[in-house]
Amino acid sequence: MKFMLLIWNNPQNWDAIPPSEQQMLAGDAVAEHAALDAALIDSGELVVSAGLADPVTTRMVRIRDGIVASTDGPYAEAKEHLVGYYLVDCVSLDRASEIAARIPDARWDRVEIRAAMDIAGLEM
């Protein structure tokens, strides 16, 4: 079954970490993400993983009454924003939880796990 592991960030959580620790954590996180990617590739569970650009690069597109409207920048005033994701194909929610616990960002923020459905949505 496929699961999206959504990596969320609240800048206040990061800002609460002393700057000297931030630098160390950031470097460690890059290495840990690379190691996790390699392990998931080896196990055949990784479909794709990616980090996302800063929310200021966001563009929202809506169609209302046949009119296309787009808005640049963060759409909602939110404390948290999505910073990356993994799409994994594994045997269970428990396994997806094990993988999510290996994502370094979970130590200072959170990782949300959501089942990914095919177009028919029959997995649920």
- Residue 76 predicted with pLDDT over 70: no
Measure the CA–CA gap between 9 and 74, rounded to whole angstroms.
Answer: 14
- pLDDT above 70 covers what percent of the chain? 93
Any idea which residue has 């993983």 for tokens? 49
Interval 17-66: pLDDT, tens: 888 888 888 889 999 999 999 999 999 999 999 999 988 888 888 999 99
Predicted pLDDT at 45:
98
Measure the CA–CA gap between 124 and 104, rounded to whole angstroms.
Answer: 29
Residue 111: count of CB within 10 angstroms of its CB:
21
Q: What is the DSSP string of 48-71?
A: EEEE---GGG-EEEEEETTEEEEE
Predicted pLDDT at 64:
95
Q: What is the mean pLDDT of the chain?
A: 90
* Domains recognised in the chain with CATH numbers: 2-116 (3.30.70.1060)
- Residue 111 predicted with pLDDT over 90: yes
